[in-house]
Copies of this chain bind each other. A is one copy, B any other.
Amino acid sequence: MTPPSRKALVPFVSVQHMMNLVLHIGVEQVLRDLAVEIEADFLRWEQFDKTPRVASHSDVGVIELMPTADADLYGFKYVNGHPKNMKEGLQTVTAFGLLADVHTGYPVLLSEMTLLTALRTAAMSALAARHLAPENATTMAVIGNGAQSEFQCLAFKAVCGITTVRLYDIDAGATEKCARNLVGHGLTVIPCTTPEQALEGAQIITTVTADKKNQTILTDNMVGSGVHINAIGGDCPGKTELHADILRRSTIFVEYPPQTRIEGEIQQLPADHPVVELWQVMASQTKGRTSTAEITLFDSVGFAIEDFSALRYIRDRIKGTPYYVDLDMLADPDDPRDLFGMLHRSA
């Protein structure tokens, strides 16, 4: 039996490979790199084929496909969101993704994306904050200390120069876990016992909770003027974190309006409520923050281009490393019309 040809093989990055690669490069360096990659793609926003993600909802969660493409590369991510998973010892979010060559339709990378999504989400948040947060912000409150929280803290350190994080979770064990994991990473970490305490002195507020319902993690009176809010957790229909009054006081920045209107905090607002597209801020086509008193809000839901950027980064960085294996995923008969002959000759 002859082995499959190069064309039939797709590089696969497992979870273990991804961990090895990230530790090899360094977590903060990966976060900085991803912010650079995402910004580069946001700056050429109009070159992408864009669509809201395709969601399949059940009573307990959602499974989504997030495709996008430029003229050369096609990418998509499979991702689930099952908040009840945690109690069963499973991840709330797992993901994997694929890049393919637009010219042939052949996949060129398959990769785990549970870790990569956490990294790219944090890099995206920090990138948005670099454009929107008050100048010289040093302190971030983090409400929700689950699987995403440490990545958020390190991204804001690496990309925005945050030096202090103030942690709060309804589960004190989560806060303790986050604080413990951040030891030795050069951040001043302050565990808090109330959300109000966490917000004290914070110029940036990150909300990153997981419950799939309309919550009020922040009420209007908790949010002072001039802060930047990085709202991560409200990312599917019926799942929000902020009181609508906060939204009405804020200038709202989004990734891709057709998706955010359905999934983001702004699902609480009329469909014509004004929002600013983040890529236009990056491209200097419109303004970001315009005053020190303004409340800026990044209503983050996660968009396919961010995954595309992250997958392309991984594809480039695994070259020449041992951090992938080749999968025999594509049929490759000698004569492309002869799929049946390939099957029979394999006997």
Q: Write the chain B residue with the least CB distance to A10.
A: B96
The verdict on A125 contacting chain B, using a C-beta distance below 8 Å, is no
Copies in the complex: 2
Q: Is the interface of A mostly helix, strand, loop or mixed?
A: mixed
- Contacting A104 at CB < 8 Å: which of B19, B90, B115, B150? B90
The CA-CA distance from A65 to B115 in the complex, in Å, is 23
- Cross-chain contact B331 with A114 (CB below 8 angstroms): yes
In the assembled complex, which residues on chain B have CB atoms less than 8 Å from the CB atom of A61? 102-105
The CA-CA distance from A61 to B98 in the complex, in Å, is 18
Interface readout for A297-314 with B: 1 if CB under 8 Å, 0 if not?
Answer: 000000000000000000
- Cross-chain contact A15 with B329 (CB below 8 angstroms): yes
The CA-CA distance from A76 to B53 in the complex, in Å, is 14
Interface residues on A, range: 35 or more
The verdict on A318 contacting chain B, using a C-beta distance below 8 Å, is no
- Cross-chain contact B340 with A147 (CB below 8 angstroms): yes
- With most chain B CB atoms within 10 A of its CB, the pick from A56, A67, A347 is A56
A54-B67 CB under 8 A given contacts A19-B343, A88-B104, A181-B344: yes
- Cross-chain contact B177 with A337 (CB below 8 angstroms): yes
In the assembled complex, which residues on chain B have CB atoms less than 8 Å from the CB atom of A341? 177, 180-181
- Cross-chain contact A56 with B82 (CB below 8 angstroms): no
Q: Write the chain B residue with the least CB distance to A182.
A: B340
Task: Find residues 303-347 in chain A having any chain B CB closer than 8 Å to their own CB.
Answer: 327-333, 335-344, 346-347
- Cross-chain contact B27 with A343 (CB below 8 angstroms): yes
The verdict on A135 contacting chain B, using a C-beta distance below 8 Å, is no
In the assembled complex, which residues on chain B have CB atoms less than 8 Å from the CB atom of A103? 58, 60-61, 82
Binding site for B on A (CB under 8 A): 1, 4, 7-8, 12, 14-16, 19-20, 22-23, 27, 49, 51, 54, 56, 58, 60-63, 65, 67, 69, 71, 74, 76, 78, 80-82, 85-86, 88-92, 94, 96, 98, 100, 102-107, 112, 114-115, 118, 145-151, 174, 177, 180-181, 327-333, 335-344, 346-347
